[in-house]
Structure 1
Amino acid sequence: MNFNLRKLIADNKTFLFFVAGMILMRSALADWYVVPSSSMYPHLLEGDRVIANRIAYDIKLPFTDVILKQVGDPQRGDIVTFSSPADGVRLIKRVIGLPGDVVEMRDQKLIINGLIADYAEVVEPDPAHLTPKREYPNQQLMFTEKLGSFQHNILVMPERPALRTFDPVTVPAGYYMMLGDNRDNSNDSRFYGLVKRELITGRVNRLMFSLDYDNYYLPRVERFGAKLTQSDH
């Protein structure tokens, strides 16, 4: 080993151990993720930084998808990060279909195991939680989607071509169906299929901080450390 390299390592040993520890922690315990798009509006905004609990469901061999021990199961309504089955890109969506579920959609309405979700329009939605006008300037509607104890808000774009109907899909063991809350503006299981449990990388319960891309990247102070409450799930 080159003398200068040995000296550099020796002089920065503490820092290098810190960096290695942070990389290991991010791989094994907790990860952070920048929300890159509007697919999870109205709950997650572009510019949000979220914390993903990597051991919410499984303890994995660091830097791999190999599950060493299962410690919990994803629940309907959980917001999770996962690797896309199509190209491996890290995504964030909501768990809609669990193993054994039969899921279909008819004219935007979810039907799970034969039960049709209820929809109530949110009359005056917060404009800050709508898709930015630069991305979609036309009408947007917000609804509260409810199926049993599963309840959260979704956005729809009536004037935009979108996949609003699909035939019944039975979710096999070890797989999950993911949908975005911004239903007409989300690349999700309707397009790349169901997601293996091994590809799920964490559960998101809390934000770290948020920057407003449409307002000179100023911080959204009210979102710092905000918890995604059960009502969001």
Structure 2
Amino acid sequence: MDKWKKWMSGNRGFIVFLMLFGVFRTAIADWNPVPTGSMRPSILEGDVVFVNRLAYDLKLPLTNVVLAHLGDPQRGDIVTFTSPADGKRLIKRLVALPGDVVEMRNKQLLINGEHADYKLLDEASEPMGNGTVLPVLHLTEKLDGDQRSIQWLPDLTEAADFGPEKVPAGQYLMLGDNRDNSADSRYIGFIPRKELIGRAERILVSANILDNWMPRLARFGKSLY
């Protein structure tokens, strides 16, 4: 016991630092390494994104208890949240709000009966991390004034259709920008607000983890909007 007290006394500053660091990361801001390509082309494997935890709710540090609502999630936000399926932290784009009627047919999105407008940007080849590459299509998706870049796999012709479904009160529909390679609300269901962690706003640093682990300097500090 004396040794423990001595260690605590000798490391008091470090302990306080760890406590404040934990409060900062769980209540104010966080950074989230991205290991998968579900948000390509917006976010790549190896990106580390800055997450604003105060974008929506103020939570009691080190808990999921909401103390106050600070803002409302918006269509187009890139959001980190806890998956209701397995408790893992995910990052996806918020596509539909409470009360929206959502449908997807042949990869194309409809919200409240309005079809999204698509424009092809380019065709490319993308590494899969196992020495193989796949052809991809990069497009813009525009709906109700919100526009983002998305990705389709043209060789995958079996689309994950769903809906029409109405988003329940207090919940949101999340989709990966890499529409043919994302475990999102089409598979795990709608996401309750209490599971939202924060809004991803910027890429802090990035490295090519699928190849040579070299830093991608052009992505450092890049805004996600």
Same fold (TM > 0.5): yes
- Partner of 1:99 in structure 2? 98
Q: Quick one: which amino acid aligns to residue 152 of structure 1?
A: R
Segment drifting more, 218-227 vs 176-185: 218-227
Secondary structure of 1:55's counterpart equals coil
Distance (Å, rounded) in 2 between the aligned partners of 1:152 and 1:44: 12
The Cα shift of 1:131 comes to 5.1
Q: Is the 8 A contact 1:79 1:95 kept in 2?
A: yes
Secondary structure of 1:172's counterpart equals coil
- The alignment's C-alpha RMSD in Å is 1.6
| Cα-to-partner distance string for 1:91-130 (whole Å, 9 max, x where unaligned) | 00000010110000010000001100011111355x6xx4
Distance (Å, rounded) in 2 between the aligned partners of 1:169 and 1:154: 22
The Cα shift of 1:132 comes to 3.5
Q: Is the 8 A contact 1:178 1:194 kept in 2?
A: yes
- Partner of 1:186 in structure 2? 182
Equivalent residues in 2 for 1:108-187, closer than 5 Å: 108-123=107-122, 130=126, 132=128, 134=130, 137-160=133-156, 162-187=158-183
Distance (Å, rounded) in 1 between the aligned partners of 2:31 and 2:122: 34
Segment drifting more, 158-167 vs 136-145: 158-167
The Cα shift of 1:215 comes to 3.6
Distance (Å, rounded) in 1 between the aligned partners of 2:204 and 2:38: 19
The Cα shift of 1:133 comes to 6.2
- Partner of 1:208 in structure 2? 204
Q: Is the 8 A contact 2:123 2:137 kept in 1?
A: no
Structure having the higher strand fraction is 2
Distance (Å, rounded) in 1 between the aligned partners of 2:191 and 2:159: 19
Distance (Å, rounded) in 1 between the aligned partners of 2:96 and 2:80: 15
> Where in structure 1 do 4 or more consecutive aligned residues deviate above 4 Å?
none
Secondary structure of 1:139's counterpart equals strand
Distance (Å, rounded) in 1 between the aligned partners of 2:150 and 2:158: 15
Q: Is the 8 A contact 1:38 1:131 kept in 2?
A: no
Choose the corresponding residue for 1:196, options 192, 197, 210: 192
The Cα shift of 1:136 comes to 5.8
Distance (Å, rounded) in 2 between the aligned partners of 1:190 and 1:35: 20
| Cα-to-partner distance string for 1:133-172 (whole Å, 9 max, x where unaligned) | 6376232111111113111111111223654311201001
Aligned pair count? 225
Q: Quick one: which amino acid aligns to residue 29 of structure 2?
A: A
Distance (Å, rounded) in 2 between the aligned partners of 1:24 and 1:138: 42
The Cα shift of 1:214 comes to 3.0
1:78 equivalent in alignment to 2:74? no
Change (3 A) 1:80 1:131: farther
Q: TM-score, normalised by structure 1?
A: 0.91
Aligned identity (percent) is 48
Distance (Å, rounded) in 2 between the aligned partners of 1:161 and 1:17: 55
Secondary structure of 1:17's counterpart equals helix
| Cα-to-partner distance string for 1:19-57 (whole Å, 9 max, x where unaligned) | 110011111111111101000000101011111111100
Change (3 A) 1:213 1:89: same
- Partner of 1:37 in structure 2? 36
The Cα shift of 1:192 comes to 0.7
Extract unaligned runs of 5+ from structure 1.
Answer: none
Distance (Å, rounded) in 2 between the aligned partners of 1:106 and 1:136: 29
Q: Quick one: which amino acid aligns to residue 205 of structure 2?
A: F
Change (3 A) 1:154 1:221: same
Segment drifting more, 186-195 vs 161-170: 161-170
Extract unaligned runs of 5+ from structure 2.
Answer: none
Q: TM-score, normalised by structure 2?
A: 0.94
